[in-house]
């Protein structure tokens, strides 16, 4: 644990410590949340998978947009990063129609102000990826918003820069993942401003917690897809008659093992690095 670092916050998954005025230590726990509720059961190594994958992508996308990563620690779950003033929106990119995007499309034919062609099915590929931001709800669920709503919260130049960077990083990662048999259906980025006012990619990036990863070989639009993310744990939660408020259900051993296996498989397929090799030497993802 960080010596002499001040604990400055807890997210659902991460603990934040201030190393100094400019630097934070982000420690990813093994906690899992479904439907925005942290479950009482942890998924061993999940925090390492999220940290390793984020660092892997940060190392490969910094020429598209600068990011907050400064150093990866030996425990494989802690990153030293630049402290940012986070933007008030979550920057979601969708290449496929799923989750709340599919729900919005079904009722309105649009997602966050983008009018989509009629006749799309659940999980359909969009002709172009779209930027579909949401509010950052302090409690409860994020809400999808259009550009006009977002501009009540931030300057247009900043919104446009975040949109452009989000689409560019998504496009890079989605091509990269496709070549490894994984579809990145959608993903969420969080950007912030550094002390000089530059846009910097923060938080985690392109992980199974922030994205929907689908195995490309069995992809078929027209319904939900199997995935490498917490959908497996979510599906279990749906079977136990839980009302999606605290406290969440305990996960049985086979759901824990199945979820861990999916996270680790996503890590290994995307990075090409054995997860045990990452644990032995986290900096392997930076090379
Ligand atoms: N470089 C950074 N500077 C400042 N804050 C950051 C930075 N990177 C990430 N954050 C913030 O740290 C937190 C990460 O914690 P975590 O992912 O567990 O949160 P969450 O559950 O997604 O959201 P919440 O914090 O609302 O519970 C987020 O609030 C995120 O916005
Ligand atoms: Mg988060």
CA–CA separation, 141 vs 154, rounded Å? 20
From 6, 7, 8, 11, the mutation candidate for ligand 1 (largest count of ligand atoms within 8 A of CB) is: 11
pLDDT, residue 138, reads 76
Answer whether 81 contacts ligand 1 (Cβ < 6 A): yes
Ligand nearest to the CA of 68: 1
Return the ligand 1 atom nearest residue 33 CA.
21
- Tell how far the Cα of 220 is from the centroid of ligand 2, in angstroms: 29
114: region left, alpha or beta (phi > 0 left; psi from -120 to 50 alpha): beta
Q: For 158-216, write each residue's pLDDT tens digit.
A: 999 999 999 999 999 999 999 999 999 999 999 999 999 999 999 999 999 999 999 99
Two tokens, residue 115: 């009018």
pLDDT, residue 1, reads 54
Answer whether 111 contacts ligand 1 (Cβ < 6 A): no
Q: For 13-26, write each residue's pLDDT tens digit.
A: 999 999 999 999 99
Return the ligand 1 atom nearest residue 68 CA.
1
**What residue's CA is closest to ligand 1, atom 16?**
11
CA–CA separation, 245 vs 36, rounded Å? 9
pLDDT, residue 141, reads 80
- Tell how far the Cα of 11 is from the centroid of ligand 1, in angstroms: 6
- Tell how far the Cα of 185 is from the centroid of ligand 1, in angstroms: 22
Return the ligand 1 atom nearest residue 31 CA.
18
Low-confidence spans in the chain with pLDDT less than 50: none
**What residue's CA is closest to ligand 1, atom 23?**
11
From 28, 203, 230, the mutation candidate for ligand 1 (largest count of ligand atoms within 8 A of CB) is: 203
**What residue's CA is closest to ligand 1, atom 24?**
11
CA–CA separation, 96 vs 234, rounded Å? 20
From 9, 13, 14, 31, the mutation candidate for ligand 1 (largest count of ligand atoms within 8 A of CB) is: 14
CA–CA separation, 256 vs 276, rounded Å? 18
pLDDT, residue 92, reads 98
Ligand nearest to the CA of 38: 1
Answer whether 84 contacts ligand 1 (Cβ < 6 A): yes
Contact of 261 with 43, CB cutoff 8 Å: no
Q: What are the contacts of 158-163 at 24+ separation with CB within 8 A?
A: 158/87, 158/193, 158/199, 159/89, 161/199, 162/87, 162/89, 162/91, 162/133, 162/189, 162/191, 162/199, 163/91, 163/131, 163/133
**What residue's CA is closest to ligand 1, atom 20?**
11
Q: What's the residue count for the chain?
A: 287
pLDDT, residue 137, reads 80
Answer whether 46 contacts ligand 1 (Cβ < 6 A): no
- Tell how far the Cα of 224 is from the centroid of ligand 2, in angstroms: 23
């Amino acid at each position: 644990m960080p010596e002499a670092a001040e604990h400055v916050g807890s997210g659902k998954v991460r603990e934040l410590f201030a190393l100094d005025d400019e630097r934070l230590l982000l420690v990813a726990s093994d906690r899992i949340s479904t439907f925005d509720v942290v479950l009482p059961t942890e998924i061993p190594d999940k925090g390492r998978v999220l940290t390793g994958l984020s660092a892997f992508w940060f190392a490969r996308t910094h020429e598209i947009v600068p990011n907050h990563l400064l150093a990866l620690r030996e425990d494989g779950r802690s990153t030293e990063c630049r402290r940012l003033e986070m933007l008030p929106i979550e920057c979601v990119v969708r290449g496929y129609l799923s989750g709340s995007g599919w729900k919005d499309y079904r009722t309105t034919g649009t997602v966050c102000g983008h009018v989509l062609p009629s006749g799309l099915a659940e999980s359909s590929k969009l002709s172009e990826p779209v930027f579909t931001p949401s509010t950052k709800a302090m409690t409860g669920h994020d809400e999808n918003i259009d550009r006009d709503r977002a501009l009540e919260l931030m300057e247009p130049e900043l919104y446009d820069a975040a949109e452009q960077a989000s689409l560019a990083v998504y496009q890079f990662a989605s091509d990269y993942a496709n070549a490894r048999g994984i579809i990145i259906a959608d993903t969420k980025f969080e950007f912030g401003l550094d002390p000089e006012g530059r846009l910097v990619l923060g938080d985690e990036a392109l992980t199974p917690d922030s994205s929907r990863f689908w195995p490309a070989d069995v992809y078929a639009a027209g319904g939900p897809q199997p995935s490498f993310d917490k959908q497996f744990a979510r599906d279990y939660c749906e079977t136990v008659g839980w009302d999606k408020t605290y406290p969440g259900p305990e996960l049985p051993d086979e759901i824990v093992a199945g979820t861990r296996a999916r996270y680790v498989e996503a890590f290994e397929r995307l990075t090409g690095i054995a997860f045990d090799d990452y644990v032995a030497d986290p900096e392997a993802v930076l090379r």
